[in-house]
């Protein structure tokens, strides 16, 4: 499995793939390039018969993921190329037959909470906080929060 992602860190421990969102400067929020990396990771994970379980977490203890990178979106940067597999390459991936565990540390807001909801199991630290703030912005949590 490819190990040199720009926005994710991956590590294999036995039959377990650990994926860490590595964008702490934006509370591990995701933008299209990070979604594409996630899509690639889950595609490889699905194909690898030696990997049985996946764990997702975020760098640091401030945020698991703050969800969609709204500053990136507002900046007018390229938002094309979102994978059909959904937010974090996961929320519309209905054919993955391996369990995923969300190890939630800090905030899981919006899409971050939806990543956790897409997993089979959520393990939350004492400082984990879950929220779907989309309605306050006139948005809808369409990646699984509904």
Distance CA 52, CA 131 (A): 29
Specify whether 134 is catalytic. yes
Residue with tokens 């299209």, as numbered in its chain: 32
Spot the catalytic one: 11, 25, 37, 134: 134
Q: How far apart are CA 32 and CA 138, in angstroms?
A: 21
Pairing of strands 16-21, 8-13: antiparallel
The yes-or-no answer on residue 18 being catalytic is: no
Q: Tell me which DSSP letter residue 68 carries.
A: B
Choosing from 18, 49, 77, 114, the catalytic residue is 114
Catalytic residues: 114, 134
């Amino acid at each position: 499995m490819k190990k040199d992602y720009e926005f994710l860190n991956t590590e294999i421990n036995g039959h377990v793939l650990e994926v860490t969102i590595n964008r702490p400067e934006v509370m591990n929020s995701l933008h299209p390039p990070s979604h594409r990396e996630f899509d690639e990771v889950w595609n490889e994970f699905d194909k690898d018969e030696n990997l049985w379980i996946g764990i997702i977490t975020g760098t640091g203890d401030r945020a698991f993921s703050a969800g969609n990178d709204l500053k990136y979106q507002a900046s007018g940067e390229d938002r094309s190329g979102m994978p059909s597999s959904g937010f974090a390459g996961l929320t519309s991936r209905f054919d993955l037959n391996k369990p995923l565990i969300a190890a939630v540390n800090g905030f899981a807001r919006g899409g971050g909470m939806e990543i956790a909801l897409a997993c089979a199991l959520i393990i939350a630290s004492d400082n984990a906080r879950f929220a779907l703030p989309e309605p306050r912005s006139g948005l809808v949590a369409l990646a699984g929060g509904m």
